Amino acid sequence: MSIRNSNCLIILFLFFSVHLIGAEFYSSKTDVLANGKSFQFWEKKTEYKHTYFVNQNDKNASDENDGSLTRPFKSINKAAQILQPGERVLISSGVYRESVLPKFGGLSANNMISYEAAKGDTVIICGSVILPTSLFQKSQGWKFGQDENNDVNVWQFNLLPEWFGGYNPFGMLNLPNDIEWLNYKQAKMNAHFQRRGLIFIDNEKALQVSTPADLSKAPNLSFWVEHNGMRIHIKLPKGKSPSDYKFEATNKEQVFAPTIYGLGYIHIKGITFRHAGNGFPVPQRGMVSTARGHHWIIEDCTLEWANSVGLDMGNESWSTVEQSIIANHVIRRNTIRNCGISGLQCSRAKSMLVEDNLFENIGFHDAEHAFESGGIKFHQAENCLIRRNIFSKITHAPGLWLDYKSNKNCRITSNLFSEITTARGGIYIEVSRNNCLVDHNIFYKMRSQYWLSGEYGAGGSAFYTDGSDSINFENNLIIDAENTGYGAYLNAERIVDMRGGITSYHRVVGNIFIDCKKHAIEFANVNNYSNNNLFVSPRAGYIKIGNPAPALLLDIDATRSLYKWDLNSKTVKMDYQFDEVNKTCTLILKNEIPTIDMVNLKIGINVINVDPRKEP
């Protein structure tokens, strides 16, 4: 039961003891993988032998300088063309509207190349241009409604060819290059046929419409792009003119990306990357890209407002030549937000460490049926550790998607998944058959954007998998799932490595299921196991066995009798309140409940700090 009224909670505080639960709710042993062995950390300290400086606001700044503190470079890309292993660049405050194209990589963990914001400075690398308001004109030659005499206040702007350097996002559709999995008859195609270019008005993303007539009913500050991509039309409120606003338009696909494949040992720290007009994957081409590189460290950065993917760190596509060394990256303490399709993607995700990041407001494009979305989307993940991250306010995408042979000795631990609306789940694992550990995570407010056809009803689940084996789901807390807490789909007909899915050897142990609207657990068959779980005021038939047909809708008394499962599972009563702003969860117990490994809950009010991130 959820407590909606804060006054009720105050009254409860007066009558019950309060038990504060801090970081101990999450696992304290997060450095080991699913097989129990330690993740292979590789970082070492680089003693930089030379430092270059970039300061565009210095009156003496020039790319003809030597890059010293007193004679700094004006652009970051100038430094990117000369930095050698064991060297770094310190960047002073400013908005740098440029593409940074590193020419060289480091040689080892203690001989890296580093790009860093100077201490205390705010550095923004921006893939957009400012539209001079003096170049706007009242729109002419188009009907913005039922007739050409309507009084919609629309202004046009002719984009300058020199802004684009061969890539004009306003002349290109979002459509991916690889459309193998894009079903035109079932998918919502509107977003795919929009242009890649984004317009920002006073720092807010403007809505793109498909035809000039659409502007009549569209909200103010919407825009339409002419067919050749060189002229845009923006609807303003009546009585307003362009001089009342600041306009920015994306003019780049990527803002930080080597032009040479496979560079390694690059470090990026403390930089904000903003605005990119990239297309939908596949290929995966992020606003920031490692260009199939290896051993990068990206930390304390902000990546925001990519039309498609914020950060790509893998082999880009399944059609590319595989690099001899790939991935092995560290992604730490970053904020990745406001990306149209995905925050982070990696094809061939080998030994990735993703920790203490915030992924929020991902998926502003309704394109989930293209099957490449997610706060994180990994393919062929192996030996990956994903720990202490927050995935919040994500739509048209799962929080985390491990796709295609992607759970080989991976661990997903101590993360918060909250307010995720998707056709899949907070975590979704697809056709993956090796050992994966999903433990000590919190899931709150899982919702369904829409249902996929047939019996595949994954949307609104905390965790969902299809055609996957050997998943251990342990010591997780699930609260308010529109669908199922732990769901699994057989997918018997999808052939991978000579066989279809059997969806077996799943262990669901030590979890708390609260307010799961459909089922708490949904197994594809009986070749799985459940025990030591707490089911809080569950609905009838809260454990489902899908096959063989007809499906069985059971409770723990039945699973004990039939399969010897759930011998230590219990049904209990509990109230809750979740505070997304302050990152706390309050569980109210009136009676003693069994002790479980995840957390020691006591009679009274248990206040849990649900922010898992570790301070530097």
| Mean of all residue pLDDT scores within the chain | 92
3-class secondary structure, 433 = coil
Same domain, 524 and 543: yes
Q: Are residues 26 and 86 part of one domain?
A: no
Residue 325 lies in a domain: no
Show which of 127, 158, 176 is a domain's final residue. Answer: 127
User: What Å distances lie between residue 55 and 16, 66, 98, 117, 383, CA to CA?
Assistant: 58, 12, 14, 11, 40
Q: Left if phi > 0, otherwise alpha if psi is -120 to 50, otherwise beta: which for 52?
A: beta
Neighbours of 300 (CB within 10 A): 16
Co-location of 135 and 216 in the same domain: yes
Residue 335 maps to a domain: no
Q: What is the pLDDT of residues 94-148, one digit of tens each?
A: 999 999 999 999 999 999 999 999 999 999 999 999 999 999 999 999 988 765 5
**pLDDT (0 to 100) of residue 364:** 96
The CATH number of the domain where 117 resides is what? 3.30.1910
- pLDDT on residue 230: 97
Q: What does the pLDDT read at residue 453?
A: 41
How would you write 557-594 as a 3-class SS string?
Answer: HHHHHHHCCCCCCEEECCEEEEECCCCEEEEEECCCCC
Q: What is the DSSP annotation of 43-86? A: ------SEEEEE-TTSTT--TTS---SSS-BS-HHHHHTT--TT
CATH of the domain at 231: 2.60.40.1180
- pTM of the full predicted structure? 0.95
Tell me, yes or no, whether 134 and 123 share the same domain. no
Overall number of domains in the chain? 3
For residue 20, being part of any structural domain is answered with yes
In this predicted model, what pLDDT tens digit does every residue of 19-67 receive, in sequence order? 676 656 788 889 999 999 999 999 999 999 999 999 999 999 999 999 9
pLDDT of residue 449: 74
527 and 486 share one domain: yes
Q: Which residues of the chain have pLDDT under 50?
A: 4, 7-15, 453-455
Q: Which residues are CB-contacts of 173 (< 8 A; sequence separation ≥ 6)?
A: 192, 193, 194, 195, 196, 279
Which structural domain range is residue 568 located in? 1-39+424-441+455-616
Task: Judge if 137 and 19 occupy the same domain.
Answer: no
Within-domain flag for 337: no
For residues 95 and 104, what is the distance between their CA atoms, to the nearest angstrom? 24
Same domain (yes/no): 611, 486: yes
Look up residue 34 and give its two tokens. Answer: 């699913």
Bridge partner residues of 156 (DSSP): 137, 233
Examine the domain organization and report whether 151 and 241 are in the same domain: yes
> 78 and 32 share a domain?
no
d(CA 162, CA 391): 39
User: What does the pLDDT read at residue 14?
Assistant: 42
| Of 121, 268, 425, nearest in space to 286 by CA | 268
| Cβ atoms 17, 363 nearer than 8 A | no
**Does residue 188 belong to any structural domain of this protein?**
yes
End residue of a domain, out of 201, 235, 250: 250
Q: Three-class SS of residue 212?
A: helix
Is 374 part of a structural domain of the chain?
Answer: no
Q: Residues with Cβ < 8 Å from 585, sequence gap 6 or more?
A: 442, 444, 477, 479, 576, 577, 578, 579, 607, 608, 610
| Residue at which a domain ends, from 219, 250, 281 | 250
584: in domain: yes
3-state helix, strand, coil in the chain (%, to 5): 10, 40, 55
Domain co-membership, 432 together with 561:
yes
- Give the pLDDT score at 454: 42
**Do both 59 and 5 map to the same domain?**
no
Tokens of 167: 């890539």
| Same domain? 123 vs 135 | no
